[in-house]
Structure 1
Amino acid sequence: MADASDALLDRLTRLHPKVIDLSLDRLRVLLADLGNPERSIAPVIHIAGTNGKGSTQAMIRAGLEAAGLRVNAYTSPHLARFNERIRLPDGDISDADLAAALAEVERVNADRPITFFEVTTAAAFLAFSRVQADFTLLEVGLGGRLDATNVIDAPRLTVITPVSIDHTQYLGDTLAKIAAEKAGILKRGVPCVVARQRDDAMQVIELAAARLGARLSAEGQHWTAAREGEALVFQDERGLVDVPLPVLPGPHQIDNAGTAIAALRELGFGQAEAAAATTRAVWPARMQRLARGPLVDAAAAHGCELWLDGGHNPAGGEAVAATLAAMGPKPTHLVCGMLNTKDVVGYMRPLAYVATSLTAVSIPGERNTLPASETAMAAASAGLPASTADDVAAAVAGIAAADPGARILICGSLYLAGRVLRDNG
């Protein structure tokens, strides 16, 4: 059945419009022809932002599920299998249900031009409309205002995680322009939880909220989250919550956890759900220590740790660098593959302060991969000693043999991270 889904996805990909016109019109027509399934799904929590969307969503889901609630979740991109994008209350969508939803979308769309993300969003809404759930978590794919997920007219809550520079070819070349696109998910009268933002981004979000009468719950203004010893202390106008530190590693996860707890508090949940958000969340390829597989075996043969992260923009590089700095002194070598659409030097610059070297690889099977030689040149210009390897396995083996006991981090792209997770079992 997975083969059937793959074939359907391949056929639907070919319907991509010849000219990209960011618009919700195509999807609205398709959804109307499908009977508007998006109007029949459980109350929506809509999440936009540049970094931290997935981690924040995972923590909100952990909190809701700890309350005994049934939760749908839509994320992108996937890592190992497409099914990960559409999570139903009992787990990732089955191959049979995915194939059925895609086949229905294909039949109703009738060969009209449509983007891949629009197709898969329509399929997700179909799947969500056919199960009993209490909440639906929707992660924006790109931007917000014109993202396919933004056809939801009346979400229960919106959330904006930190906004930074990324996807400038679609969202604009300044932080204010990008923030305006993210703020496009705000809806009249619907409350919005906002993570810590730079002033120019926050001003745009505040103006949009005022125009729509959308009450903001903003970090630093209405709530705070901070590490105190081995605990996370969250405080808002309702009081103080003291919970364990996030199981997702990295100092940046304190803010993500705070955003998740603020969202849960906005929905009326308390201490138990907040604690579950920090202790039960699972989100692969975000500073994940790999525990098994041939790559781990190759590293462990020389006493090396092996880590994996999918961050890929300058803010992601800063978060990874801060995480590595907090992990204690140990030589850290990067195995890095990136897309040619990213600010590669901007991503690597903060890493140059904490990493010993970078070995560049191309991302297998990815049309937009940056060649390993160009990734290595970008690393050198950012101040990182760099070389190239034929693939991740060769890079890991070479580093482990040359520097026993070191830390090895595979990084630079969710596409590379997904390939590693698939190939490494």
Structure 2
Amino acid sequence: MNYAEVLDWLYAQLPMFQRTGPVRYRIDLEKTRALCAALGHPEAGLKVVHIAGTNGKGSVSHAVAKALQSRGLQVGLYTSPHLVDPRERIRIQGEWIPQAAFVSFVVDHMAIWEELQPSFFELMFTMALTAFRDAEVDIVVLETGMGGRLDSTNIFPAPRVTAITSIGLDHQQFLGPDLRSIAREKAGILKEGIPCVVGILPPEARSVVLEQSMRLGVEVYDGMPDPTEVEGPNWLARNRAVARCILSLIADGDPASDEAVLQAGPAAWGLRGRWHREGEHVLLDCAHNVEGLNATGEALARMGRPLRLVFGTVADKDVAEALQCLPPAVEHHWCAADVPRAMAVQTLSDLAVAAGRKGHAHSSVPEAVLSALEARQGDELVVVLGSVFTVGEALTALNA
């Protein structure tokens, strides 16, 4: 099997929550542990930094990994979901896992997949652990997939540091109906005696995290703000604060070197799809829940440029609530990504009209992006928002 054939097999055979939704989601650690045992315990001996949060965990993970790499460490980074290529999830020294290694891992362990029937996330996570073990990395930065307590990444009894970047309303059908419930799930990554860094949390969520920390004897640290005022979105400053504190708790660092990496920003960290610029007139952002869209909406408003929005979301999102977070636009270009979870474009268009936002419905994300670019005038900024899938397909179209 070649790489394309392996991907086809994975998408056809393995449950993948990101593409198909709740029916494919499993809240369980036993399957991950069984897979690790079958693969010879690739997790054994790995030193990890474990990062959870409703928003910001991807940014913080990338920033911390890049800073540790700049210290001269061999660093593994595991994140999810991917934008375009599943190999994005597994990086060593900032480089994606090679296609040949990806194919070999899947093909060589077919008997295990057939016996244990893992989810896509579980297979990818154990692939990452195996790659990190084989590369003999010095440290691994792990981003949780969803929640924390029962997330597959939560199998390490003693990480170097844990972190909770933010807590907001998202995935309530799995994590609970309110902020306290969600906080309880995120706080499930805290481990006895292991320091935890927290971002700015709502009071009711913070109290839950502190309760758990007291039970486990965990020292809780707040993020360390930028030493001087820096331009950019507020959410980026908040994420830098968490990353800065994480790095301060990992010995043998040069604060000046760490700071240079943090100030370099998402593109330098290797983070795509978050406040992602494609030239002067296109911006892409994966914000998709209210907390994330509010932060992005505020940053867009401060730019003071007329906006032309390309927007596509998934079927379980509240469109009116999402659009309320965003500043007015010159025009809207509605679309649906090519995944089963996507909200049908006509449904999106109808809900947007009901919310007071008119626009044009397009048959695909690439068509919506092309239409927005062709219609753009003067200083208008084309902004692509709404879901990871929308941004991923837009990036593919822009770089074709």
TM-score, with length taken from structure 2? 0.90
Deviation (angstroms), 1:86: 0.7
Is contact 2:49–2:141 with CA below 8 Å preserved after alignment?
Answer: yes
SS at match of 2:59: helix
Deviation (angstroms), 1:21: 4.9
SS at match of 2:106: helix
Aligned equivalents of 2:312 and 2:258: distance in 1? 37
Is contact 1:74–1:86 with CA below 8 Å preserved after alignment?
Answer: yes
Distance 1:14 1:23, change over 3 A: closer
Is contact 1:315–1:347 with CA below 8 Å preserved after alignment?
Answer: no
Q: How many residues align?
A: 388
Is 2:343 the counterpart of 1:367?
no
Is 2:276 the counterpart of 1:288?
yes
> C-alpha deviations, 1:18-47, integer Å up to 9, x for none?
886511111212211222111133x10011
Is contact 1:89–1:133 with CA below 8 Å preserved after alignment?
Answer: no
**Residue pairs, 1:259-338, within 5 angstroms:** 259-268=242-251, 269=253, 270-279=255-264, 280-291=268-279, 305-328=281-304, 330-338=305-313
Is 2:28 the counterpart of 1:23?
yes
SS at match of 2:153: helix
Is contact 2:308–2:376 with CA below 8 Å preserved after alignment?
Answer: no
Deviates more, 1:407-416 or 1:267-276: 267-276
Specify which of 343, 363, 380 is matched with residue 390 of structure 1.
363
Is contact 2:14–2:117 with CA below 8 Å preserved after alignment?
Answer: no
Aligned partner of 1:56 in structure 2 is: 60
Aligned equivalents of 1:261 and 1:186: distance in 2? 19
SS at match of 2:360: strand
Deviation (angstroms), 1:147: 0.5
TM-score, with length taken from structure 1? 0.85
Deviates more, 1:105-114 or 1:367-376: 105-114
Is contact 1:102–1:120 with CA below 8 Å preserved after alignment?
Answer: no
For structure 2, the 5+ residue unaligned runs are: none
CA RMSD of aligned residues (A): 2.3
Deviation (angstroms), 1:90: 5.8
Aligned equivalents of 1:83 and 1:159: distance in 2? 24
Deviation (angstroms), 1:407: 1.2
For structure 1, the 5+ residue unaligned runs are: 232-244, 292-303
Aligned partner of 1:13 in structure 2 is: 14
> C-alpha deviations, 1:123-156, integer Å up to 9, x for none?
1111111012121011100110000001111111
Aligned equivalents of 1:402 and 1:103: distance in 2? 47
Is contact 2:335–2:361 with CA below 8 Å preserved after alignment?
Answer: yes
Deviation (angstroms), 1:108: 2.6
SS at match of 2:116: coil
Aligned partner of 1:349 in structure 2 is: 324
Distance 1:166 1:227, change over 3 A: farther
Deviation (angstroms), 1:257: 0.7
Aligned partner of 1:38 in structure 2 is: 43
Is contact 1:72–1:88 with CA below 8 Å preserved after alignment?
Answer: yes
Aligned partner of 2:384 in structure 1 is: 410
Is contact 1:349–1:383 with CA below 8 Å preserved after alignment?
Answer: no
Distance 1:278 1:109, change over 3 A: same
SS at match of 1:261: helix
Aligned equivalents of 2:24 and 2:348: distance in 1? 30
